[in-house]
């Protein structure tokens, strides 16, 4: 194979783009996709501070790597979930990366804020672990951004993640979720920061290749609680479709964003309030995070 750009020996074939690249040109291709995502959706400006939610995995560290090289004032946020050795190793990966790049890394413990780590929350609530974990992460990312005066939080969700989420929402016609399926969510309340996904144009395989070429040391193991998650099943279905028809994931997600998403936008905005307990944004009187914390305390 020859590199589409320079004609040299290619190291990676991208079937959905009908192209192949050498290492140097692939890295530039990857960065261009991130640049285009930021530009197209006006995710953030050069003078804005960006808080990158990092997990120690390939996607979030690759995103942080690109933003730092592009000259953005990007700090990392690691949420310590307290999931046995997995959290110990993933935190170490983030700290090592931050130290090597001389970048700021904020660390927030779920156990200190909720009252228990994710494994205990799972037992106390008897809910799927991803439920309490996801709720806690969304709340803590927003709170950390507000406390440290970051106007925007960037996450490492890639094309595979977004296509799988959309697939699940459409499978169950979760019309409340469909309007929020976007690479960039604006702030709709003074206490709600913007949320963006600069990797949405790139596949999981492409992100893994970028991390390998850039020699980014990331945690390879999946979260021990991810086994059996419906999102993984949805990814497997979409992977089979992609193998049969390269570009299927891209067409599914981008077709929705460009043609269907406006039809699911709510006719009237949801009324947002400040939680009577913690002051964070909620649609009710007490936010779901405070209710989760109460449930954990009662169970313990």
Burial of 250 (0-12, 13-18, 19+ CB in 10 A): middle
Structure tokens that stand for 23 in this block: 């290492």
Please tell me the distance from the alpha carbon of residue 31 to that of residue 160, in angstroms, as a whole number.
18
Task: Express as a percent the part of the chain with pLDDT over 70.
Answer: 98
- Reference 72, options 45, 104, 53; nearest CA is 45
User: Among 17-31, 121-135, 160-174, 246-260, which stretch is predicted with the lowest mean pLDDT?
Assistant: 121-135
Q: Quick: pLDDT tens for 244-276.
A: 999 999 999 999 999 999 888 765 567 899 999
> Are the beta carbons of 155 and 197 closer than 8 angstroms?
yes
Query: Structure pTM?
Result: 0.94
> For 201-216, what is the mean pLDDT?
98
Please tell me the distance from the alpha carbon of residue 112 to that of residue 15, in angstroms, as a whole number.
46
The domains found in the chain, sorted by start residue, are 30-267 (3.40.50.620)
DSSP string, 74-103: EEEEEEE---HHHHHHHHHHHHHHHHHHT-
R_g of the chain, CA atoms, integer Å? 19
Confidence check: pLDDT of 170 > 60: yes
């Amino acid at each position: 194979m020859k590199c589409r750009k320079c004609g040299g020996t290619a190291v990676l074939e991208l079937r959905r783009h009908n192209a192949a690249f050498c290492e140097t040109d692939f890295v530039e291709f990857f960065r261009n996709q991130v640049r285009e995502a930021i530009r197209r959706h006006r995710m953030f400006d050069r003078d804005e501070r960006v808080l990158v939610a990092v997990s120690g995995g390939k996607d979030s560290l690759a995103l942080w790597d690109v933003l730092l090289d592009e000259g953005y004032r990007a700090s990392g946020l690691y949420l310590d979930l307290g999931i046995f050795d997995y959290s110990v190793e993933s935190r170490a990966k983030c700290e090592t990366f931050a130290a090597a790049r001389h970048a700021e890394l904020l660390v927030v413990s779920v156990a200190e804020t909720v009252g228990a780590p994710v494994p205990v929350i799972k037992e106390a609530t008897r809910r799927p672990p991803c439920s309490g974990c996801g709720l806690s992460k969304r709340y803590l990312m927003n709170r950390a951004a507000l406390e440290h005066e970051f106007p925007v939080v960037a996450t490492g969700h890639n094309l595979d993640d977004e296509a799988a989420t959309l697939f699940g929402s459409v499978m169950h016609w979760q019309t409340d979720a469909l309007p929020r399926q976007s690479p960039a969510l604006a702030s709709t309340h003074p206490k709600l920061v913007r949320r963006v996904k600069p990797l949405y144009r790139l596949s999981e395989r492409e992100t893994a290749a970028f991390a390998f070429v850039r020699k980014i040391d990331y945690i390879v193991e999946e979260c021990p609680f991810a086994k059996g998650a419906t999102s993984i099943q949805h990814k497997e279905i979409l992977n089979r479709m992609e193998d049969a028809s390269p570009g299927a994931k891209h067409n599914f997600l981008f077709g929705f964003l460009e043609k269907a998403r406006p039809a699911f936008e709510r006719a009237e905005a949801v009324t947002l309030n400040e939680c009577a307990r913690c002051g964070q944004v909620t649609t009710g009187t007490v936010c779901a995070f405070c209710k989760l914390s109460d449930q954990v305390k009662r169970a313990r």
